[in-house]
Structure formats: structure tokens, C-alpha cells
Structure 1
Amino acid sequence: MVCASQPKPEGGTPLKGLYKALEDIVWLTQLGLNMLLPLLLCLGGCWWATSHWAWPEWVYLPGIFLGLAAGAQNFWVFAKERMDRAKKDKNHRVGFNSHQ
């Protein structure tokens, strides 16, 4: 019987794997929201402008492009931050007297 506090042969605990999986799910959910919400907000603004101010229907086209551009920009910032964080974590070295 394996207890959660016993180290695995690789040196980590089973809870570290679960924590990493949950962290990846949260990052993926956040990325999806960062890309989808700008498009939905732009489309909502276009709908409101066409229904309340009687703007023409072609306003949706620039709204779609603006929403996609904002989602792409959010993706770029998110990916850059994630790569920088991975690079920083990868270079972490443990010395002889460092205890974890």
C-alpha cells in the first residue's frame, strides 16, 4: 500500500502530479477565457449599437476583427508570460546544502 507522503521512485509525491495537472487545467481555462471574452464583448457592443442606435449591420464585421485581434493579443501576452515562467523554473538549481 502506497501512502501519499511516501516519495515515488522519480523523487516526487503523487500529490505533486495531481497539483500540476490541476494547475495546467486552470491555465488552459484562463487562456480560453482570455481569447473568447474580447470577441464576445465586441459582438455584444455591436449588437447593442445596432439595436439602440440603429447602426447598420456591417458594424459586426469590424467588431469581429477587433475581438479576434484582442484575443490574439491576449494569447501572445499569456504565452510569453508562460514561457518566461517555465524558463525561470527550469534554471532553478539546488545546491548541496539546499533542502526542499
Structure 2
Amino acid sequence: MKSWMKVMQDIAWLTQLGISVTAPPLLCAGAAWWLSARAGLPMWVMLPALVLGFGGSGASVWGFYRYIQRKASRKKAPPAFNRHL
């Protein structure tokens, strides 16, 4: 069984990843909606805003994936008996 600290760390990472994935599209869509309402921009501005938002989400997921890969590669392999230094 995992220790409680490891479980809480995993929950924190999962929560942070979820926020990092959902926030950019919502913020970009909100900004596009606000600009179209206040500045009179057409509603097609929402499409590029969503593309930018989903791009930001993809970058967050990619960064998280790279972090997990680096973390997995740092784990030391057990020492071999025939290895001489």
C-alpha cells in the first residue's frame, strides 16, 4: 500500500494537471467573448481563441509528460555485481 504522502502527492498532481488543461481554453474563450461584447468584434474571434486555448492545454500536457519521463529515468537501477568503477 502506498503511503498517505504519496497518495496525496498523486492527487495534487492530478488536480494541477486538470486545472492546467481546463483553464487555458476557458480563459481564452472568456476573453474572446468579452472582446466581442465590449469591442464589437465578430464572434468568429472565438475560433482562434479556442485554438490558442487548446494549444496551451496541449503544451501543459506535454510539459507534464516530459516531467514524468524525467522522473522515471532518474530512478536508479539496482547495482550490478559485474560492474567495476
Q: How many residues align?
A: 79
CA offsets, 1:13-65, max 9 Å, x none? Answer: x7x62111111100000111111111111011101110110100111111111
> Which one of 6, 10, 13 corresponds to residue 27 of structure 1?
13
Match of 2:60 in 1: 74
1:86, distance to aligned residue in structure 2 (A): 2.4
The amino acid across from 1:91 in the alignment is K
Q: What code does the residue aligned with 1:40 have?
A: L
Bigger relative contact order (CA 8 A; separation at least 6): 2
Equivalent residue of 1:55, what SS? coil
TM-score (norm 1): 0.71
Q: Which runs of 5+ in 1 are unaligned?
A: 1-13, 95-100
What residue number does 2:76 align with? Answer: 91
TM-score where L is the length of structure 2: 0.82
Give 1 or 2 for the bigger CA radius of gyration.
1
Aligned residues with identical type, % of pairs: 35
Does the alignment pair 1:57 with 2:53? Answer: no
Distance 2:53 2:77 in 1: 38
Report deviation, 1:78.
1.4
Considering only aligned residues, what root-mean-square deviation do their CA atoms show, in Å?
1.8
Q: Which has the higher helix share?
A: 2
Match of 1:5? none
